[in-house]
Structure 1
Amino acid sequence: MLVKFVGVIVGIFLCSCSLAQKDEVTDIIIYGGTSGAVTAAVQAKKMGKTVIMISPDIHLGGLSSGGLGWTDTGKKEVIGGLAREFYQRVYDKYQNPGAWKWERKADFGNQGQGTPAIDGELRTMWIFEPHIAEEVFDEWVEEMGIKLYRDEWLDRKTGVTVEDGKITSIRTLSGKEFEGKMFIDATYEGDLMAAAGVSYHVGREANSVYNEEWNGIQTGVYHHGHHFQALERPIAPYLIAGDPSSGLIAKISAENPGKKGEGDHKIQAYCFRTCMSNHPDNMVPFPRPDNYDSTQYELLVRIFDAGWKELFNKFDMIPNRKTDTNNHGPFSSDNIGMNYDYPEASYERRQEIIKEHEDYQKGLLYFLANDARVPRELQEEFQRWGLANDEFTDNANWPHQIYVREARRMIGEFVMTENELLRKKPTPNSVGMGSYTIDSHNVQRYVDESGHVQNEGDIGVHLPGPYKIAYGSIIPKMEEINNLIVPVAVSASHTAFGSIRMEPVFMILGQSGATVAALSLEKGLDVQDLPYEALKAQLLEDGQVLTMDNRILSD
């Protein structure tokens, strides 16, 4: 009887605790662990709101702490608010002499992407090591007292409750349930958005959809050097040159690429931004994957044989003799054509895709360092490099975040297109600015009409200058969900997203999205009904750059 009594009391206690927790409704719930998720959480807390950050990731910062330390800044004068504060905090980290363990600060140089790496005048640093970025994000969240749940995955099937056009609660796979008044989906994939029933698109729209030029299939377009047109001679795709019956070598699709300008459901290639070191005391030799298969890299051998020697062109230097190494050339770290189902895939299937990309890229590094078919002078230089031993130390020095360049994109109140970026059409109600080139990596590799290998999908379209990003591009349609903001999987065409998708912009939009949520709560309004003038005033007060008139200039 005593045992039964104790059991009843415990049951009542647990029930009451559960009810108490359920009755405690958080002002703003942020789902995601990206850089945009962090700035959204910080801004919400700064505006006096209760905040819970639910991250499917263990490590905060997404690509900003996942290897992309060679920041795609575009025009730095339009990066304001908390995004700029992040780069100022990075600058402060490197003022400590102890941060320069593997090289002297004076030996680093000051080269960045379109901007000096270190801007001493405005105390910002745009180029950094992964662990430094992660330290900044972690310290920021702790400093602000943000309640954070790591490694919590949204139940995408039944874990989102919607009542009368509003999300009321979300549940994770572990069974935790969170009630909130406002929600922010700050994932690369747009998982919360999709589970809530918001409209979205995956793949490239046809040019006719938004009257664009650079959307859709781009056969015959060669903007960068990431194609076979730049080689001294064409490359045969078949196991036996000239014999289609012998079959295709690895990493070439047998599918027809489609007609130029038409849409498809394919997405630009993913890769890992590997952090390498050439310091002998801080490098780990490239490991041989368990399922290593050298035939996967036969195409690269043929490219080398055709005279290609640009192997080291994207070994972009970050502090302490390390790199942010990105894709470069017709065959590189981009695993073309192997990610098409990722945006909509189950968590289990996504892990399979990520593992396949990891095996491919690790195998590529091992191949370059060890296979006798690699030109000797390139291989000898490559063997001076290895994975940085002091980065990603809980993941065998491999990045914890795959580069999800594009997944789902919301179809919201306003869709950003190349026409707004190229200033062919005006952009209403700015919540931030972007400035990077319209950029897409390759989408498919196929056999062209001449019987040779070709890549398709890589574009780089220069802009007339920085552009505004519309308020309507971060909120769903009025008839769908009224208390959700989406600052990462934003409402944009494939071409527009190719510029918007940069980490500084995600941080800018994360801050602006949280401002929308906080002000909408204060005024008792749906996010679609918030007066823009009130939003604009708050954003300007908090240092956001909304137009070129309030861009940040040197003193």
Structure 2
Amino acid sequence: MRRLYTLSILLLLSWGIFAQNSYDLVIVGGNPGGIMAAIAAAREGKTSVILERTSHVGGLPVNGLGATDIATRQATTGLFSEFTSRVKQYYIDRYGDKSQQVKDCSDGFHFEPLVAAYVYKQMLEEHKDRINVLLMRQFDAEDKNISLRDGHIESIRILNRETGRHETYFGKIFIDATYEGDLGAAAGVPFRVGRESREEFGEPGAGRTYEYWKSLPAEGSTGQADNAVQAYNYRLCLTDDPARRIAFPKPKSYNRKEYVSLIEDVWTGRNTQRVMAEVTDEMMEENRRHIAGGNHSKLPGDSWGIRKLSSLVKLPNRKVDGNNQHAAFLSTDLPEENWPWPTSSWEWRDKFAERLKDYTLGLFWFAQNDSELPEHFRKEISQWGLAKDEYEDNGYFPRQVYVREGRRFEGVYFFTAKDALPVSPGKRPPLHSGSVTASHYALDSHAARKRETGRVHLDGFISYPTAVYTVPLGVILPRKVDNLLLPVPVSGSHIGFSTLRMEPCWMALGQAAGITASLAIDRKTSVRAVDIAILQDILIREKATLIYYRDVRPEDKDFPMVQYLGLRGYLTEWDADLQKAVDEATLRNWEKLCGFKLKATSGKTLRGEVLKEIFNVRK
């Protein structure tokens, strides 16, 4: 089949189509990782085509994920910071710098979906001479859709969903920016789907795991490996503003049986918080009587109204980002049914997407209308609905499923929990000298199975704190394909991937991918042979944080020096302390690292001055 495809390429060449559909970078997927790859490459003078399957670019941030998932905001910068700065500026320009909208945007980290779409469009249009965005272009992970020779991708075949015809795209470097990892799979890169055992890498929360929310182990946790994929949902943009609110419609496929377990959970207050370990049956029955008297639930850890169904994070203009309610047995996640998604066809995925949409709408319609629920509970939820100025072409409902985890590739470096956990209390996680971004989020996975009798929570729902860590370039590099980069379906275990899978990190990895691709093109080498020091220099120039320090920011004049020397082991603590005097032990250690005698006096010379001497010689 691939031989026939190669022959067809020769015909295309003779017809002149090669020049028309040839780019430096061919990027499959118009999510933030793909967008930032294209922008970073454009800044290096390279052309890109973004092939996006839907009619909109922007991925999850333009489809409801308006509350940015990041634990330490200064950990990830570069193009991601440019995005958040532009979001904030949008609200300042439109509403004034003292407005409620500016306050609610939280320095650009909280935004309406329509604003995210505006900012991504703005960033792309600034490079429209080098970036071509093509919508409704579908790549299917099949052999016939890729021409691969001697570890080198020559071209890929794409379905134009509007015309029904296939198109061929040629590139020097190909980037898989899909949430599913479809291009990497077609290129033959080894991948994993499902959960590793606790034994394989010694990771907390690995394998089959039942825990009270926020990680209190419970009976049934075996740690065994399986093929389970953490649940997907839709991130909803909701509002309680009557002028902006659209009522939840009752879906045609509505099935009341799917939601009836919510009735007892509301009346008794049952939830999955840690405090439930101390709650008795008598306490739950007392709560039932309390609610019957017209009151809200008084059970510890319980939520009332819409917060029983969905977590809410405030966005500007009286909107919220509605995510799965982690302390609930029944919420907007739909575990188990999504397991085939990573490796399934788009025909199957589209059917599941519609099923998930109907399930989600049915859940809220049930909560607002079912007579067996407390009347005052239903009334409170009825204050909420879909925002009528979002997704107007899709019935005010998000256009894209939140695919939290698809294929996870086995690349040059395989990221696990140990890469995100401190080596000892108060210390950093292991430092990767080949870091292309710092990042920070918990080891965080949603449920893999639905409610099971006698279990305190849903299988797989875990959250473990991490510390700001470094991400090596190797997580986006395949071992054998020379001109492919994987900034979204990165290399890692289920638990390791669970912290990398946040849009800020994906944007940073996309930026690194765009620069790596540009360097590989300029030097006519494979992506694995790119000089990491040159790549890091460019990233630092673009104000990307590769190793995080609490006291040095990208705008500081010493930022390049601290980044350069930090990656080389001179600064291993959380603070650079440039204005403190260097002590004897540190001075001797730095001399050992740099290999020459330093012109400094311990207890007198400032650390910053010593580091400048080293930097000027070594750089």
TM-score by length of 2: 0.76
Q: Does 1:138 align with 2:121?
A: yes
Q: CA RMSD in A?
A: 2.3
In structure 2, what is the equivalent of residue 510 of structure 1?
A: 510
The CA distance in 1 between the partners of 2:471 and 2:205, in whole Å, is 19
- Per-residue deviation, residues 64-122 of structure 1 (Å, max 9, x unmatched): 11101011122111221111101111111101335x9xxx97445846xxxxx433xxx
Count residues in correspondence.
Answer: 493
The CA distance in 2 between the partners of 1:105 and 1:359, in whole Å, is 40
Q: Does 1:153 align with 2:138?
A: yes
- Per-residue deviation, residues 389-419 of structure 1 (Å, max 9, x unmatched): 0000000000011110111111100001100
Q: Does 1:182 align with 2:183?
A: no
Distance 1:92 1:18, change over 3 A: farther
1:527-542 equivalences in 2 (<5 Å): 527-542=527-542
* Contact 1:226/1:330, CA 8 A, preserved across alignment: no
Shift, 1:467, TM fit: 0.2
The CA distance in 2 between the partners of 1:468 and 1:107, in whole Å, is 35
* Contact 1:445/1:454, CA 8 A, preserved across alignment: no
1:207-246 equivalences in 2 (<5 Å): 207-219=198-210, 221-224=211-214
Q: Does 1:200 align with 2:191?
A: yes
2:462 aligned to which of 459, 477, 480: 459
Q: Does 1:472 align with 2:474?
A: yes
Secondary structure of 1:439's counterpart equals strand
Shift, 1:58, TM fit: 1.4
Aligned partner of 1:212: which letter?
Answer: E
- Per-residue deviation, residues 493-516 of structure 1 (Å, max 9, x unmatched): 111111111111111110001111
Shift, 1:203, TM fit: 0.8
Aligned partner of 2:151: which letter?
Answer: G
Secondary structure of 1:140's counterpart equals helix
Question: Please, which runs of 5 or more residues in structure 1 have no aligned partner?
Answer: 1-14, 112-116, 120-124, 230-256
- Per-residue deviation, residues 510-544 of structure 1 (Å, max 9, x unmatched): 00011111111111111111121111111111111
Q: Does 1:279 align with 2:262?
A: no
The CA distance in 1 between the partners of 2:121 and 2:26, in whole Å, is 18
Shift, 1:287, TM fit: 0.4
The CA distance in 2 between the partners of 1:273 and 1:428, in whole Å, is 36
Secondary structure of 2:471's counterpart equals strand
* Contact 2:334/2:450, CA 8 A, preserved across alignment: no
Secondary structure of 1:172's counterpart equals strand
The CA distance in 2 between the partners of 1:540 and 1:452, in whole Å, is 48
In structure 1, what is the equivalent of residue 553 of structure 2?
A: 552
- Per-residue deviation, residues 340-393 of structure 1 (Å, max 9, x unmatched): 001011111111111111110010011111111222222111111111000000
Secondary structure of 2:250's counterpart equals coil
1:22 aligned to which of 14, 18, 26: 18
The CA distance in 1 between the partners of 2:321 and 2:221, in whole Å, is 35
Aligned partner of 1:447: which letter?
Answer: E
* Contact 1:225/1:330, CA 8 A, preserved across alignment: no
* Contact 1:316/1:323, CA 8 A, preserved across alignment: yes
Aligned partner of 2:193: which letter?
Answer: V
* Contact 1:428/1:471, CA 8 A, preserved across alignment: no
The CA distance in 2 between the partners of 1:75 and 1:326, in whole Å, is 20
Secondary structure of 2:458's counterpart equals strand
Shift, 1:265, TM fit: 0.8
The CA distance in 1 between the partners of 2:357 and 2:200, in whole Å, is 35
The CA distance in 1 between the partners of 2:223 and 2:455, in whole Å, is 22
- Per-residue deviation, residues 243-266 of structure 1 (Å, max 9, x unmatched): xxxxxxxxxxxxxx9861111111
Secondary structure of 2:411's counterpart equals coil
Shift, 1:290, TM fit: 0.7
Shift, 1:426, TM fit: 4.2
The CA distance in 1 between the partners of 2:42 and 2:251, in whole Å, is 44
Q: Does 1:118 align with 2:106?
A: yes
* Contact 1:33/1:55, CA 8 A, preserved across alignment: yes
Shift, 1:136, TM fit: 1.0
In structure 2, what is the equivalent of residue 93 of structure 1?
A: 90
Distance 1:391 1:226, change over 3 A: farther
Q: Does 1:81 align with 2:78?
A: yes
The CA distance in 2 between the partners of 1:89 and 1:17, in whole Å, is 42
Aligned partner of 2:81: which letter?
Answer: R
2:36 aligned to which of 35, 39, 43: 39
In structure 1, what is the equivalent of residue 250 of structure 2?
A: 288
In structure 2, what is the equivalent of residue 264 of structure 1?
A: 226
The CA distance in 1 between the partners of 2:385 and 2:156, in whole Å, is 42
Secondary structure of 1:445's counterpart equals coil
Shift, 1:17, TM fit: 8.9
1:367-386 equivalences in 2 (<5 Å): 367-386=366-385
Aligned partner of 1:167: which letter?
Answer: I
In structure 2, what is the equivalent of residue 401 of structure 1?
A: 400
In structure 2, what is the equivalent of residue 444 of structure 1?
A: 449
Shift, 1:446, TM fit: 4.7
The CA distance in 2 between the partners of 1:466 and 1:375, in whole Å, is 44
In structure 2, what is the equivalent of residue 521 of structure 1?
A: 521
The CA distance in 2 between the partners of 1:453 and 1:408, in whole Å, is 29
The CA distance in 2 between the partners of 1:554 and 1:83, in whole Å, is 15
Shift, 1:280, TM fit: 1.1
Higher alpha-carbon deviation: 525-534 or 508-517:
525-534
Secondary structure of 1:333's counterpart equals coil
* Contact 1:160/1:195, CA 8 A, preserved across alignment: yes
* Contact 1:78/1:551, CA 8 A, preserved across alignment: no
* Contact 1:545/1:551, CA 8 A, preserved across alignment: no
Distance 1:447 1:79, change over 3 A: closer
Shift, 1:52, TM fit: 1.1
1:427-438 equivalences in 2 (<5 Å): 427-438=432-443
Shift, 1:207, TM fit: 2.0
The CA distance in 2 between the partners of 1:525 and 1:56, in whole Å, is 30
In structure 2, what is the equivalent of residue 235 of structure 1?
A: none
* Contact 2:148/2:187, CA 8 A, preserved across alignment: yes
The CA distance in 2 between the partners of 1:140 and 1:108, in whole Å, is 22
Higher alpha-carbon deviation: 39-48 or 24-33:
24-33
Task: Please say which structure displays the higher CA radius of gyration.
Answer: 2
The CA distance in 2 between the partners of 1:545 and 1:91, in whole Å, is 20
Distance 1:439 1:523, change over 3 A: same
In structure 2, what is the equivalent of residue 246 of structure 1?
A: none
The CA distance in 1 between the partners of 2:259 and 2:341, in whole Å, is 23
Distance 1:452 1:416, change over 3 A: closer
The CA distance in 1 between the partners of 2:114 and 2:414, in whole Å, is 35
Secondary structure of 2:392's counterpart equals coil
* Contact 1:77/1:553, CA 8 A, preserved across alignment: no
Shift, 1:325, TM fit: 0.5
Aligned partner of 1:172: which letter?
Answer: I
Shift, 1:132, TM fit: 0.5
Aligned partner of 1:118: which letter?
Answer: S
Secondary structure of 1:491's counterpart equals coil
Distance 1:551 1:346, change over 3 A: farther
Secondary structure of 1:402's counterpart equals coil
Shift, 1:21, TM fit: 2.5
Distance 1:530 1:52, change over 3 A: same
